[in-house]
Chains A and B, each alone.
Chain A
Amino acid sequence: MTTTAMSKERLLFNGADWDFPTLQRVHDACEEIALGELGLDVYPNQIEVITSEQMLDAYSSTGMPLFYRHWSFGKHFAHHEAFYRRGMRDLAYEIVINSSPCISYLMEENSATMQTLVIAHAAFGHNHFFKNNYLFQLWTDADGILDYLNFAKSYIARCEERYGEVEVERTLDAAHALMSHGVHRHAGKTKVDLRDEERREQERRVHEEQVFNDLWRTVPTGKKRTAADVGLEKRRLALGLPQDNILYFLEKSAPLLQPWQREILRIVRHVAQYFHPQRQTKVMNEGTATYVHYRIMNRLHERGQISDGNFLEFLKSHANVVFQPNYDDRRFSGFNPYALGFAMMQDIERIVTAPTEEDRAWFPDIAGQGDAMSVLRNIWADYRDESFINQFLSPNLIRQLRLFHLYDDPEQEEGILVSAIHDERGYRRIRRQLSREYDIGWIDPGIDIVDVDLAGDRRLLLRHNVTNDWFLQEADTKLVLQHLANLWGYDVLLQEVDSSNEVVKEHAASPHKPIQ
């Protein structure tokens, strides 16, 4: 037997066509490398082949396979579709869901090489990250999410039947507007068990039905206590204030909400919470997946399981994925998380296996340690974007990317200051600043509910701590506050406070029921 004949036999596929047995072979080959050689640890895989329309559909509803109905998903669908049809944007090659089994969507139009890339990337890279990163372990319930979404979908459909589409839509619109302020940012609450959550909702309802007694409504409430009676501190304590999870607060304390509306807030909150770790780990997650697919594809090629031609095809799309335009390039639109993540993973591999003197000084713990995979696996498990960059962005990479730091103070008439570049003096500052740009707590405006006068006029008081003169955008804030007031049922006041604790700006809203 000649060598060519041998390698022909080893090839997983030939050309661009694929069928289901091919996918199976590809998956098994990737699995052998991922688990055997890279030591990854993954949820069981489920691979679903879908059409481009279904792909559009999936990422219009934030990538979830089943989701409740809402007009905004239709809007996003239309938006994506328009771009796609005009050829201005490619569809994502894959979508992967943090669930167990881990579901990866593959588009039918992909070539065999692309399917292999996607399987290596999503079914092993992302999958490993989902299963092992501490944020996902802490905040998400991969076993329960699909059941929970199913529950959410049918629950909201039932609500629409009972209370009308318009009412449900109003509630959902309001909840969506507050979605970014519907997550618990600080650990300490135990992880939610979504299946349990669904069961509890049913129990709550049964309980309410059992104990319902219309008589209670007619019981005299006695003398009204004045606001002075209830001490401010006591009141805050009772309501758990200050509270940065606005949706949670409304769900628990808004006086006028119907039980089903509270449940809808809870659903939106759970979905927001489920996606919260993904927001905090974009660079790491994509970096991990890209690094993993790169390793796997190279190994497949080395082992003669992918032909040279197909490997070239892979290299081309890989290069596209990790392309980072410079700031003055027309294509520049911020950092590409794939590029940054992949570059950092490769840089870490280099530091572990072939460190320079500089690396030894900067990274004494890992430099020259030798086993790149074990170091990377630990990093993937224990960090999020902010801490990851703060810890592992090396001078070498800063030089390679030629990073620089702009400081723009509008007060400064002359222009924008270049406050650090890729030199000895700049490394640490650039690293600290870049890591901050990935800190959700820093990017999202910090808004707390600080007080509410339950016995008095029931006005809800919120506070936005302004940093660096970044005030809230007026028009949007007004709309969100309107939603908030509609949910709360009474007036709402948002104060923007500067660093010296002085109120600089105020926004107010009163509830109303717009006629639809």
Chain B
Amino acid sequence: MHIVDRRLNPRGKSLENRQRFLRRAKSAVQQAVKRSLQSRNIRDVLDGGEITLPIDGLTEPGFRRGEGGISDQILPGNRAFVEGDIIPRPPGRSGGRPKEAGEGDGEDGFRFVLTREEFLDVFLDDLELPDLAKRRLTETEEESPVRAGYSVSGSPSNIAVGRTTRMAMMRRIALRRPRIQEMEELRREIGECEDDEKRRDLEAKLNALTEKSRRIPYIDPLDVRYRRFESEPKPVAKAVMFCLMDVSGSMSEHMKDLAKRFYLLLYLFLSQRYKKVEIVFIRHTDKAEEVDEETFFYGPATGGTLVSSALAAMRAIVAARFDPAEWNIYAAQASDGDNSYSDGTTTGQLLRHEILPLCQYFAYIEVGEEDNDSSVSRSPLWTLYEGIRAEQVPLSMRKVCRRNEIFPVFHDLFQKRDAQSKVAP
């Protein structure tokens, strides 16, 4: 008998088959993912999840018998029947045929679990970042050193100690350099030795060894190795996302929740596309401050509303930390649309001349109460932004009142566009 441990075999043997299945099922999966999103919390999106697929196009047909024929069946567990009994058919079943073994699973809704990656891939598949590439991306390539083995020359700070001693040891063993213990032993023997002749012998031997160990040094310049680096050009793909939110008294919890969902989606989306995404949270009332995530969403604050303060804060932060030449800058602003009457001009100026030129994309969503029909009302901010948008700038805006509108709005904002068409409405 032979026992084999296969547990360490490469995992994911089924991956290829799974992917083939997904490729084949792609459109069906996309539909299903969208459907499942409507009933799902955005946080759960991060966990991937179970998807129910209709199995059209995924059937594996075979010659099978249909319904309606004469059937015979043997069943276990008779308690009451005698030969000749007639059992009325249960209503609603034409054939009256009891279910066959294996039919129980019901393949009409085919369920399976997508991993987080699979889910996100499908989820974000038909979305695209507007102006994903930084305009000057090619010029601003960055070089970074990467390890590239060892070399025999280099700067002392790059000596690879481990490798050097290894080389030295190899050489010492190969050339049979006498070991120190060996020579100690000889010296001790000489000290203890009574017999002259034998001592001379030993001394000669010791001399030979000493001579040899002098010829074969412990560490030779030949052994020295240096860590070698090669510089590798890396395209800069850094993104920063500014989340601007109005937290003035007029923003209700519901509105904040909507905003949060939108930010989460945006973050998810950006992190699929960029290796590293920084997030800056700016909240404002009549003055703006940069805060951490927790405070941003949950910290209490009240006050008036000055949108320009947030924009000014963003401008300052960009100037201090995010050189627009290197960073892809995205901004998402959520607000209920209120702004101080006196602030309109400042906000417009700031947005038009300072912020938008910095941004790859600026998304504005206006959140409203659930029962509100926001399409009718026109808030001051909406009117202002609409005026700016007419100028063909990377600004887009939507109104959201209900949770289930978030994804469609998001999808709408970021759907794939033709190369020509700029960030339109």
Q: Hey, which bits of chain A sit against chain B, CB under 8 A? A: 20, 23-24, 27-28, 31, 44-51, 53-54, 56-57, 60-61, 69-75, 77-79, 81-83, 85-86, 101, 105, 108, 123, 169, 173, 176-181, 324-329, 332-335, 401-410, 414-423, 425-426, 430, 433-434, 436-437, 444-445, 447, 464, 467-477, 479-480, 483
In the complex, what's the smallest C-beta–C-beta distance from B337 to chain A, in angstroms?
44
- Cβ–Cβ contact A401 & B77, under 8 A: yes
Partner of B81 from A404, A407, A469 at Cβ < 8 Å: A404
- Cβ–Cβ contact A469 & B69, under 8 A: yes
- Cβ–Cβ contact A447 & B63, under 8 A: yes
A71 with B101, Cβ < 8 A, contacts A403-B74, A409-B70, A468-B69 known: no
Q: Which residues of A contact B62 (CB under 8 A)?
A: 177-180, 476, 480
Q: Which of B20-28, B125-133, B174-182, B395-403 lies on the face that meets chain A?
A: B20-28
Tally of chain B residues near chain A (CB < 8 A): 69
Q: With CB as the reference atom, state the residue of chain A lying closest to B76.
A: A401
Q: Is B420 close to A, CB under 8 A?
A: no
- Cβ–Cβ contact B5 & A402, under 8 A: no
Q: Which residues of A contact B100 (CB under 8 A)?
A: 334
Partner of A327 from B5, B61, B75 at Cβ < 8 Å: B75
Partner of A404 from B16, B65, B75 at Cβ < 8 Å: B75
**Could you tell me which residues of chain B, from 88 to 102, have a CB within 8 Å of some CB in chain A?**
88-89, 94-102
- Cβ–Cβ contact B20 & A472, under 8 A: no
Assembly CA distance A73 to B21 (angstroms): 8
- Cβ–Cβ contact A82 & B96, under 8 A: no
Partner of A49 from B7, B50, B61 at Cβ < 8 Å: B7
Q: Which residues of B contact A178 (CB under 8 A)?
A: 62
Q: Which residues of B contact A470 (CB under 8 A)?
A: 65-66, 68-70
Q: Which residues of B contact A75 (CB under 8 A)?
A: 21, 25, 58, 110
CB-CB nearest 10 A-B residue pairs:
A326-B77, A334-B101, A74-B21, A78-B112, A74-B17, A470-B69, A473-B66, A479-B61, A327-B75, A71-B20
- Cβ–Cβ contact A416 & B21, under 8 A: no
Q: Hey, which bits of chain B sit against chain A, CB under 8 A? A: 1-7, 9, 11, 13-14, 16-25, 50, 58-79, 81-89, 94-105, 110-113
A417 with B84, Cβ < 8 A, contacts A404-B74, A473-B64, A473-B66 known: yes
In the complex, what's the smallest C-beta–C-beta distance from A171 to chain B, in angstroms?
14
Contacts A54-B13, A74-B16 known; 6 new A-B pairs at CB < 8 A: A86-B50, A180-B63, A332-B77, A421-B78, A423-B83, A433-B72
- Cβ–Cβ contact B96 & A476, under 8 A: no
- Cβ–Cβ contact A480 & B11, under 8 A: no
In the complex, what's the smallest C-beta–C-beta distance from A392 to chain B, in angstroms?
15
Q: Which residues of A contact B3 (CB under 8 A)?
A: 20, 23-24, 27, 46-49
Q: Which residues of B contact A332 (CB under 8 A)?
A: 77
Q: Which residues of A contact B69 (CB under 8 A)?
A: 410, 467-471
- Cβ–Cβ contact A469 & B9, under 8 A: no
Q: With CB as the reference atom, state the residue of chain B lying closest to A106.
A: B3
- Cβ–Cβ contact B87 & A416, under 8 A: yes
In the complex, what's the smallest C-beta–C-beta distance from B45 to chain A, in angstroms?
18
A71 with B78, Cβ < 8 A, contacts A49-B4, A480-B63 known: no
In the complex, what's the smallest C-beta–C-beta distance from A96 to chain B, in angstroms?
14
Assembly CA distance A48 to B66 (angstroms): 41
- Cβ–Cβ contact A472 & B63, under 8 A: yes
Q: With CB as the reference atom, state the residue of chain A lying closest to B84.
A: A418
A415 with B88, Cβ < 8 A, contacts A71-B20, A71-B23 known: yes
In the complex, what's the smallest C-beta–C-beta distance from A346 to chain B, in angstroms?
16
**Chain A at the B interface: mostly helix, strand, loop or mixed?**
mixed
- Cβ–Cβ contact B111 & A82, under 8 A: yes
A472 with B66, Cβ < 8 A, contacts A49-B7, A177-B61 known: yes
Q: With CB as the reference atom, state the residue of chain B lying closest to A464.
A: B63
Partner of B60 from A31, A49, A176, A416 at Cβ < 8 Å: A176
Q: With CB as the reference atom, state the residue of chain A lying closest to B59.
A: A479
Q: With CB as the reference atom, state the residue of chain A lying closest to B110.
A: A79
> Can you sample 30 A-B contacts with CB below 8 Å?
A27-B1, A28-B1, A46-B4, A47-B4, A56-B14, A57-B13, A72-B21, A75-B25, A75-B110, A82-B50, A85-B113, A326-B76, A332-B77, A335-B76, A402-B76, A405-B72, A414-B88, A415-B86, A415-B89, A418-B82, A418-B86, A430-B74, A437-B73, A464-B63, A469-B69, A471-B66, A472-B63, A473-B66, A476-B59, A479-B61
Q: With CB as the reference atom, state the residue of chain B lying closest to A60.
A: B14
In the complex, what's the smallest C-beta–C-beta distance from B52 to chain A, in angstroms?
9
Q: Which residues of A contact B105 (CB under 8 A)?
A: 83
Assembly CA distance A308 to B44 (angstroms): 47
Q: Which residues of A contact B79 (CB under 8 A)?
A: 402
Q: With CB as the reference atom, state the residue of chain B lying closest to A434.
A: B74
Q: Which residues of B contact A468 (CB under 8 A)?
A: 69-71
- Cβ–Cβ contact B1 & A46, under 8 A: yes
Q: Which residues of B contact A433 (CB under 8 A)?
A: 72, 74
In the complex, what's the smallest C-beta–C-beta distance from A441 to chain B, in angstroms?
14
Assembly CA distance A360 to B102 (angstroms): 37
A403 with B86, Cβ < 8 A, contacts A44-B1, A47-B4, A480-B62 known: no
In the complex, what's the smallest C-beta–C-beta distance from B57 to chain A, in angstroms?
10
A469 with B70, Cβ < 8 A, contacts A49-B7, A78-B18, A335-B76 known: yes
Assembly CA distance A418 to B73 (angstroms): 10
Q: Which residues of B contact A402 (CB under 8 A)?
A: 76-79
Q: With CB as the reference atom, state the residue of chain B lying closest to A446.
A: B63
Assembly CA distance A299 to B18 (angstroms): 44
A415 with B76, Cβ < 8 A, contacts A71-B23, A71-B24, A333-B101 known: no
Assembly CA distance A473 to B67 (angstroms): 7
In the complex, what's the smallest C-beta–C-beta distance from B51 to chain A, in angstroms?
9
- Cβ–Cβ contact B1 & A24, under 8 A: yes
Of the listed residues B9, B68, B70, B74, the one surrounded by the most CB atoms of chain A closer than 10 A to its CB is B74
Assembly CA distance A123 to B17 (angstroms): 29
Q: Which residues of A contact B111 (CB under 8 A)?
A: 79, 82
- Cβ–Cβ contact A471 & B68, under 8 A: yes
Partner of A407 from B7, B20, B72, B88 at Cβ < 8 Å: B72
Assembly CA distance A45 to B101 (angstroms): 32
Assembly CA distance A324 to B76 (angstroms): 8
Q: With CB as the reference atom, state the residue of chain A lying closest to B21.
A: A74
